[in-house]
Structure 1
Amino acid sequence: MDLRIFTEPQQGATYDTLLTVAKATEDLGFDAFFRSDHYLKMGNVEGLPGPTDAWITLAGLARDTKRIRLGTLMTAATFRLPGVLALQVAQVDQMSGGRVELGLGAGWFEEEHRAYGIPFPKEKFARLEEQLAIVTGLWATEVGKTFNFHGTYYDLTDSPALPKPAQAKVPVLIGGHGATRTPRLAARYAAEFNIPFASIEDSERQFGRVRAAAEEAGRAADSLTYSNALVVCVGKDDQEVARRAAAIGREAGELKINGLAGTPDEVIDKIGRYAEIGSSRIYLQILDLDDLDHLELISSRVQSQLT
């Protein structure tokens, strides 16, 4: 089971804070550092000093880290034109030496669009489908040839399809709870399917849909990686679990049901149950970015038992 660190910087984080967490991620042996792509805080938090842009952050981390994978859960297709996004991701991949992954979703948080003057179209999923075709098509176009795409929402003519990423194929992540269109898109474009904040039962059901969609598309179901994203709250004992839960405004009992919470042994047991239904990677949502002891505990007492 791969464990990746997943942050929500819109809740309040500077680049320096994110860099500290990313370096701890690397030093403690985790597989990757991912971040959300949001421009507005959620819930009852101050959110200071304000949001940071996901791909600007990852560009900095590409130069300031050496080993870990870097990516988004999820970049909103509403935020960037597909040609620009393909260029940005390719450049950050070059800057990292080929360590970037692109999680791409339709976008859902209408308030952040209003707050920053970003259009929030009704046909978001149809736009996402065209974006996936364009981004992957641009990267796959041979050097010296051009890329053309004439869709309902985007039109590209004689694009040189440059620059290219450092990787031969940047892994694309698609995720969500949709029963029909989401599995179909994952089967067509994704290297990995991720389901966020879902129970073991719901995850198993959704993984089954994606596997079926892949086989229907003529693709081996096992050619995709299946992953979960879950809030994590680990403590040496129940008292420490309760303290860490309170620090992020949650209840320990609720987190034990809806996330990965408890003592190391409890968390290892629950991770094992996700593994049994086909999950091979978990994104650990870290909400208290100042608690580096939390990361150290997960590394030494949880991750060490999974390898």
Structure 2
Amino acid sequence: MELRIFTEPQQGADYDQLLAVARRAEETGFGAFFRSDHYLKMGSVSGDPGPTDAWTTLAGLARDTTRIRLGTLMSAATFRLPGPLAITVAQVDRMSGGRVELGIGAGWYAEEHTAYGIPFPPVGERFDRLEEQLAVITGLWETPPGGTFDFPGKHYPVSDSPALPKPVQRPRPPVLLGGTGPKRTPRLAARYADEFNLPFVAPEDSPAIIERVRAACVEIDRDPATMIWSHAAVLCCGRDDAEVARRAAAIGREPAELRENGLAGTPAEIVDKLGRYAAVGSRRVYLQVLDLADLDHLDLVAAEVLRQL
């Protein structure tokens, strides 16, 4: 089981804070540093000092870290055109020496679109656009050097593209898709994803979702064993109940609720729940760290949880 750190900077964080978390995650042995891709805070927090752009952040981290993998959970297809996004991710992959992964989704948060003048089409069209984006992005990356790429899309037609720059990772950086949708999500994952993420889904609720994606793989003659399964869960670890309560209060949550719905409790409790994720096939868990100032939290999990995995 690999543990990755997952942050939500739209809730209030600048680049220096994110860099501090990424470097501590790298130093203590976590496998990756991921961030959300949102432009507006959620809930009652202030969101100060304001949003940071996901791929600008990852470009900086590509140069300011050396080992840890970097990526998004999930970039919204509504935010960017697929050709320029393919260029951006390929460039950041080169800047990092081949450590980048692209998590991408249809986009869901209507308010952030209206807050920053981003079109927000109906859900059906958003999935249509996501499907074309995946075809264009992966097609550009996988085009052999010296070749050109064409795509007769409705939303994003591409003609005679040189398909440059190429990422370091070949044939392309890993693509992550996720969610709980019963129809289009499994089909897109089977066609394009290297990893399927179940966001905030309990272990006991996971097999049905995984089975839908497995079935979609079989339908297109893809071996489901080639898919990496992962989960994301809120982290709240403490050496004892008092420390768990303190960390829960810092993020405005209750310990009992976090124990039920997230990864909360003592290191022993968290190791036990990670075992339940592993039992349903999960190979990675993204630990959603909401208090970015609490670097001791990462130290505790690295020392008392990672070493047991």
For Structure 1 versus Structure 2, the TM-score category normalised by the shorter chain is over 0.9
Give the aligned partner of residue 301 of structure 1.
Answer: 304
The farther-off stretch of 139-148 and 12-21 is: 139-148
Give the whole-Å Cα distance in 2 for the aligned partners of 1:300 and 1:212: 39
Secondary structure (helix, strand or coil) at the match of 1:174 reads strand
Q: Shift of residue 271 of structure 1? A: 0.5
Give the whole-Å Cα distance in 1 for the aligned partners of 2:303 and 2:209: 31
1:139 aligns with 2:141: yes
Aligned equivalent of 1:157, options 159, 170, 173: 159
Q: Shift of residue 21 of structure 1? A: 0.2
Secondary structure (helix, strand or coil) at the match of 1:44 reads coil
Structure 2 counterpart of 1:284, one-letter code? L
Give the whole-Å Cα distance in 2 for the aligned partners of 1:2 and 1:214: 24
Q: Shift of residue 73 of structure 1? A: 0.1
Give the aligned partner of residue 282 of structure 1.
Answer: 285
Q: Number of aligned pairs?
A: 306
Query: Where do 1:9-28 residues align within 5 Å?
Result: 9-28=9-28
1:114 aligns with 2:114: yes
Give the whole-Å Cα distance in 1 for the aligned partners of 2:10 and 2:148: 37
Give the whole-Å Cα distance in 2 for the aligned partners of 1:246 and 1:4: 23
Give the whole-Å Cα distance in 1 for the aligned partners of 2:121 and 2:88: 23
Q: Deviations over 1:216-249 (max 9, x none)?
A: 2111111010000000100000111011000000
Which structure 1 segments of 5+ residues have no match?
none
Give the aligned partner of residue 271 of structure 2.
Answer: 268
Structure 2 counterpart of 1:197, one-letter code? F
Q: Shift of residue 202 of structure 1? A: 1.9
1:227 aligns with 2:230: yes
Identical aligned pairs, as a percentage?
A: 69
Q: Shift of residue 200 of structure 1? A: 1.1
Give the aligned partner of residue 33 of structure 2.
Answer: 33
Secondary structure (helix, strand or coil) at the match of 1:16 reads helix
Give the aligned partner of residue 198 of structure 1.
Answer: 201
Structure 1 counterpart of 2:90, one-letter code? A
Give the aligned partner of residue 6 of structure 1.
Answer: 6
Give the whole-Å Cα distance in 2 for the aligned partners of 1:211 and 1:225: 11
Give the aligned partner of residue 59 of structure 2.
Answer: 59
Give the aligned partner of residue 254 of structure 1.
Answer: 257
Moved over 2 A (4+): none
Structural RMSD (CA): 0.6
Give the aligned partner of residue 129 of structure 1.
Answer: 131
Secondary structure (helix, strand or coil) at the match of 2:305 reads helix
- TM-score normalised by the chain length of structure 2: 0.98
Q: Deviations over 1:266-299 (max 9, x none)?
A: 0100110110010110000000000011000000
Give the aligned partner of residue 215 of structure 1.
Answer: 218
- TM-score normalised by the chain length of structure 1: 0.99
Which structure 2 segments of 5+ residues have no match?
none
